[in-house]
Amino acid sequence: MTVLIPFAGLSPVPWKNGGGSTIEIAIGPPDAGFEDFDWRVSLATIAEDGAFSQFRGVDRTLALVEGHGMTLHIDGQAMLISEADPVASFDGASLVQAKLSRGPTTDYNVMTRSDLCYHQFGRRILSGDSTFVARADVTVLFLAEGDSLELASDDERIGMVRYDAVLLDPDTVWSLEAGQATIFIVDVYYHADEDEEEAYE
C-alpha cells in the first residue's frame, strides 16, 4: 500500500551527545528500533562538530539537503560533503568525525542491515512532468527541494510538499508533476533466502 509520510507530522529527537537531532522518516519493520531495524531513513540536523554513532553491520548513505555541508573524517580519510558533491556512502562501523563547513547542516540518512538487505540511492532533478517506476522491494521517495510535487498513478494521486516522503508499492508506475524539484530515491532490496535461491537453480 502506498503511504504518504507528511514531514509536518514528524518530531525531532535529540542525539545522545546533544550535537544534533534526528527525525525518523520511515523504518522497517515499522515497530523496529536502533538495534533491530532492517532499513531506516531519517533526516538529521548537525549543529556542531562531533562524532557519528557507530552501527556495526549497517551500510550507510548520507546526502546533503540544507546548509554548506561538512568534512567527514571516515576512519582517518577526509571526504568533503558539499553542494558540488553532496552524497557519501560508508560502513556504519567506521569511526566518523564531522567538521561543519559554515554552520549547521541538514542531511538525509539511509541505513540498511547488510546481512538482510542493501540499498541504492538516487538523486533526481525534476523539471516539468516525468515518469517513475518503483522496482525495489521497498522504495522511499523524498522531496528534498521544491515547494510541491504531485504523484499520480492509474489509481491515486498524492500531493507532497518539501520534506514529505512516500513509500511506494513495488512494480507501480507514477507520473511526477513538478515545476522545479529535487527528489531522493531509496531502493531497498532484500537478499533472497536459500530456499528461494535453490528454486532458481
Domain ranges in the chain? 10-115, 118-190
Q: Which fold has domain 118-190?
A: Jelly Rolls (2.60.120)
Q: How confident is the model at residue 67 (pLDDT cuts 50, 70, 90)?
A: very high
Average pLDDT over residues 61-88: 96
Q: What pLDDT, on a 0 to 100 scale, did the predictor assign at position 15?
A: 73
Q: What pLDDT, on a 0 to 100 scale, did the predictor assign at position 174?
A: 97
17-55, pLDDT tens digit by residue?
667 789 999 999 999 988 899 999 999 999 899 999 889
**What percentage of residues in the chain have a pLDDT greater than 70?**
94
Buried b (16+ CB within 10 A) or exposed e, 54-81: ebeebbbbbbbbebebbbbbbeeeeeeb
Q: What pLDDT, on a 0 to 100 scale, did the predictor assign at position 198?
A: 47
Q: Which fold has domain 10-115?
A: Jelly Rolls (2.60.120)
pTM: predicted TM-score of the whole model, two decimal places:
0.92
Of 84, 34, 93, residue with least CA distance to 58: 93
Per CATH, 10-115 and 118-190 having the same topology is answered yes
Whole-Å CA distances, 37 to 57, 112, 123, 155: 11, 8, 24, 31
Q: What pLDDT, on a 0 to 100 scale, did the predictor assign at position 199?
A: 46
Reply yes or no on whether the pLDDT at 201 is more than 50: no
Coil/strand/helix, residue 147 = coil
Evaluate whether 81 touches 62 at the Cβ level (below 8 Å).
Answer: yes
